[in-house]
Amino acid sequence: MRIYVDYDDCLCETAKAFTWIADRLFGKKVPYEKVRFFSLKESFELNDEEYAQLMEYGHRPEVLMAYEETPGAAETLNAWLDQGHEVYIITGRPYSSYEASRRWLDEHGLKRIKMYCLDKYGRNRCTDQSDYNMTMEEYYQLKFDVAVEDSPLAFRFFDHLPEMKVLVFDRPWNRADQLPGANYIRCTDWNTINEMVDAMS
Ligand SMILES: [Mg+2]
């Protein structure tokens, strides 16, 4: 099978890191469970300037490198590769954070995994032709069997694949809305995700 895997808050605990950063930069104390919106600007009630500062800080290489792995992520992805599945990490992170993001994967035992930056959230208008810069045209040519994603704002990228199973990584910001279809399944951890993929293979 071909499997799409999102990076932030699927492979690593990005929002947890941002709760710490928002406190450090602005004294905003928002517990992780209260991060109700995918938009951190809304969740932390930041103005434009504060939000820009938050994002800049959170994407510094040394900060990215410190993000904690979500338990079981690397083990599951490696098992999928061993079973012959094709795994694509497709992140909405800016292209400028590619190197640190790649290094994080390498240092967490994920050297064999392909990673691409796709402009999911309109943050990057990059015309760079690097191998890791995936254009929308390239993305829409790929057919996936399974996706692992936490962000409701990214679900629209699955509309063209109604047969695909979307395993929604359960997070506080995706609990309010109903999932878009019967092919969407909420999963609380990597064990559950692995079982779902096993059952499909
Ligand atoms: Mg994510």
Q: Which of 65, 86, 104 is the last residue before a domain boundary?
A: 65
Beta-carbon-side half-sphere exposure of residue 53 (alpha carbons within 13 Å)? 12
Q: Which of 43, 65, 87 is the last residue before a domain boundary?
A: 65
Average pLDDT over residues 6-34: 96
pLDDT given for residue 128 in this prediction: 66
What's the domain range around 56? 14-65
Q: What is the pLDDT of residues 90-137, one digit of tens each?
A: 999 988 899 999 999 999 999 999 999 998 887 766 666 678 889 899
What is the Cα–Cα distance from 178 to 201, expressed in whole angstroms? 27
**Distance from Cα 84 to the centre of ligand 1, integer Å:** 24
Residues 60 and 81 reside in one and the same domain: no
Strands 146-149 and 114-117: unpaired
Q: Is 125 or 11 the better-scoring residue by pLDDT?
A: 11
**Distance from Cα 92 to the centre of ligand 1, integer Å:** 8
Residues 24 and 100 reside in one and the same domain: no
* CATH number for 137: 3.40.50.1000
**Distance from Cα 83 to the centre of ligand 1, integer Å:** 25
Q: What is the pLDDT of residues 134-175, one digit of tens each?
A: 989 999 999 999 999 999 999 999 999 999 999 999 999 999
Q: What is the DSSP letter of 179?
A: P
**Distance from Cα 154 to the centre of ligand 1, integer Å:** 8
Using the predicted structure, report yes or no on whether residue 14 has a pLDDT greater than 90: yes
Question: In which element (H, E) is residue 148 found?
Answer: strand 146-149
pLDDT given for residue 148 in this prediction: 98
Q: Which of 65, 81, 102 is the last residue before a domain boundary?
A: 65
pLDDT given for residue 38 in this prediction: 86
What is the Cα–Cα distance from 194 to 201, expressed in whole angstroms? 11
- The count of domains in the chain is 2
**Distance from Cα 171 to the centre of ligand 1, integer Å:** 10
**Distance from Cα 127 to the centre of ligand 1, integer Å:** 23
Please name the residue that has the structure tokens 């692992």. 148
What is the Cα–Cα distance from 113 to 111, expressed in whole angstroms? 6
